[in-house]
Amino acid sequence: MLKKEFLKELEDRLQMLNEKERKDMIEEYSQHISMRMESGMKEEEAIDDFGNIDDLIAEILDAYHLDPEYEVKNKGRNGKTGVADLLPKDFFEKRKKKSKERDLKKNKKVETMERFKKNRGETIENIADKARKTSGSAISWSWDKAKKIFLIFVKVVLICLVVPAAFFDVAGLVGLGTLSVMAFQGYPVIGCVIVALGAVLSMTAYILFLFSYILKGKGVNV
């Protein structure tokens, strides 16, 4: 087989490759043949050195991940081979099968992503709802505690006010008694008695007022 015939057969039987790859392949083998001829080989010997052309085609197809078990059918007057005839018998069936598998994987992936997004959305919503409830409970609990602490503080303050008020009330009663005795003895202290009586009554009313708040916890608006 001559170089021209060899390259022509490669060209015809590698039609399933894209044009650039096919041209690069033909150019590479053409250079190899030329180099061998320059080294002293005859044209037929340089081509025979590649081995059986069917095996060579199979190796090339295998390198491009195509099934090397292809079938060549001669068609037409010139014996040209169509691209479909150079492909494996089940080439298109495999392509369709792979395409379906890819579509199934893609659809499954999309469904998985949609399900994940839905579950994540529900999870986030549940977390947010729980957070709102927890936050509301925490605020309510904090508010109740704050009110109780404030009421206790108010009661403590009122108790602190009751002690000096009681002291002054007792002192007022003593003073009122003393002034009353002096008034009966003829001392002109009737005005002081009236003032002392008013002070004692006012202080007593104030003490009772404080006790009503302390004991009943009323009258304090929070």
Tell me which residue of 49, 6, 48 sits closest to 26, measured CA to CA. 6
pLDDT at 77: 34
For 196-207, how does the pLDDT look when each residue is reduced to its tens digit (9 = 90+)? 888 888 888 878
Number of structural domains (the chain) is 2
Tokens, residue 105: 């994987």
Domain end marker among 89, 110, 140: 89
75 and 101 within one domain: no
**180 in the same domain as 149:** yes
Last residue of a domain, one of 58, 89, 120: 89
- Say how far apart CA 12 and CA 85 lie, in whole Å: 11
Residues 54/38, Cβ–Cβ less than 8 Å: no
Output the pLDDT for position 217.
Answer: 56
114 shares its domain with 209? yes
Does residue 222 lie in a domain region? no
User: Of 89, 117, 143, which closes a domain?
Assistant: 89
Q: Are 116 and 48 in contact (CB under 8 A)?
A: no
SS3 75: strand
At 14-65, the pLDDT tens digits run 887 788 888 888 898 888 888 888 888 888 888 888 888 888 888 888 777 7
Tell me, what's the pLDDT at 40?
86
What is the domain extent for residue 10? 3-89
Q: How far is CA 198 from the centre of its chain?
A: 75
The verdict on 119 and 145 lying in the same domain is yes
Provide the angle, in degrees to the nearest 10, between the axes of the packed helices 91-184 and 190-216.
160
The answer to whether residues 45 and 98 belong to one domain is: no
| CA end-to-end span of the chain | 110
* Residues 165, 111 share a domain: yes
* 3-state class (DSSP) for residue 80: strand
- Could you give the 3-state DSSP secondary structure of residue 173? helix
Q: pLDDT value at position 148?
A: 84
- Across the chain, which has 222 residues, the per-10-residue mean pLDDT values are 86 83 87 88 85 83 66 39 45 56 72 74 73 74 84 79 78 83 83 84 82 63 40
What stretch of H or E contains 71? none
In total, the chain counts a number of residues equal to: 222
